[in-house]
Structure 1
């Protein structure tokens, strides 16, 4: 088993952070000998995966053991597209080989997460909000449920930052259609991530979630309440070719800019990345907050349900607020007329 390096490169600044966790590591069916065996297999798989062309070899990364998993921090020049394609593919190949000759107690299934951000070596370990965020994604109940429900050998979750910078652009062998958005609600973190199952592609659809991100199946015979108006398909003016007056459009822009998540470039980017691919990929972006918000809303108006998708994304990041309520009412009047909610 490789020993995490005590010498060599130390994180200091922007890095790419890869974390992994062995699913069901503490299961009562595993003996200590079995746990040692799967840990060795995990490190062997990581060494092989990070040795693929285009990746940064494991020996040139900062590696920390986490007992039931590991953290690999790559230097700034690491190619994240390679991480979500070739590295993941080799990792899956090694898992298949190992599991093909292993009994249930020795099987190795991995949850992995990829994020990018600041990380710093403090003399004994690595600290940084980005490190914490990577582990929050890894520990998200929704991610664990995807792995449990699918029985996949490998799951990969990428942060909104990695999805926005790499996945949604479809760089190289990356296919955005293989990813599904999940909620990340762990401790103080309320965010989103994008999950794929390498070798399988798109995870199964999420059942309804209870607060806290725990996915719950709908009981047989249960009465499902209709969605609120902003989540229901609307046969109205938006998306039908009709264009609201300039005054109405600018009123929506004013309401949107009253929501903090729309004023800062980084948080506005997260909102846009949460929109469906067919909408976000055609928005003409601008560095100016007002111009950018105008284009976001105008583009959403061109798609049936586009404004509802924008409201759903804003609610996911901002929660309920007076400003969001005012924007909802303005959109309701636009979509449903004066008699709307």
Structure 2
């Protein structure tokens, strides 16, 4: 019982979440790292195991302390609520409500200290909204559930780590929202996360907003000078190695070859695009700034293949591995 307990949310029941969860938790390598307990629907998980041909036993538990982590067993805190005949691959208000309830229960358990981390399977934003929960995604939902006014999204792969100043808002709105205070807080959150991960002096690259990081005022309206430079001056004065603003069209190549430990992206696609090109199974999403550890797959519900048994579990396995490593730190 010394291994950390991890709440694994099942995600949208109509998507690939149940399949990637059962595939990942059937992997023997994860059993020595943590005691996972799925927050979801036991019957749906059993159906997913059948679809995937995974030989596991679904065992309902009343609380995380009952999770054994035994080989061949998936411990489930059964929230229920999913009808047996709910179709895969179709947006469903019922599935959206279920996905919300799994995350809410996981946050409650984490804040109470009953689990040491949360690892989330994908939810569908449209289904979440149809159920009346108007959040852009997991990141913002967990921030509210945990009472935190501001968090950051970090994507982590074997080659590149990226933290975002803004995420789920339009490009025009993102540029307007970026200011020196937000940039400074994001850099600091990223720096602290890298130090906690064992990198004593992280090298941080900060992207510009405009092509060529503005080319000394040639492009844009001085956003680099007014929104980014002041923040970096403060961070450097505190000993943080934050370089930039740098052109985003070359900085990810440089990070990939090892020049930087972390890239700070100004908006969603600036950071997500380079990570996604490495493969949807390569990335893990980490929410930085919560009072609890949270990792996630870096892919969506994949309605086009949900229920077929074709979903790959690589990203979920890596998300669980990273959650276990972070939860094991003092």
**Same fold at TM > 0.5:** no
The TM-score, its normalising length taken from structure 2, stands at 0.28
Q: Which has the larger radius of gyration?
A: 1
The TM-score, its normalising length taken from structure 1, stands at 0.28
Q: Tell me: higher relative CO, structure 1 or 2? Use CA pairs within 8 A at least 6 residues apart.
A: 2
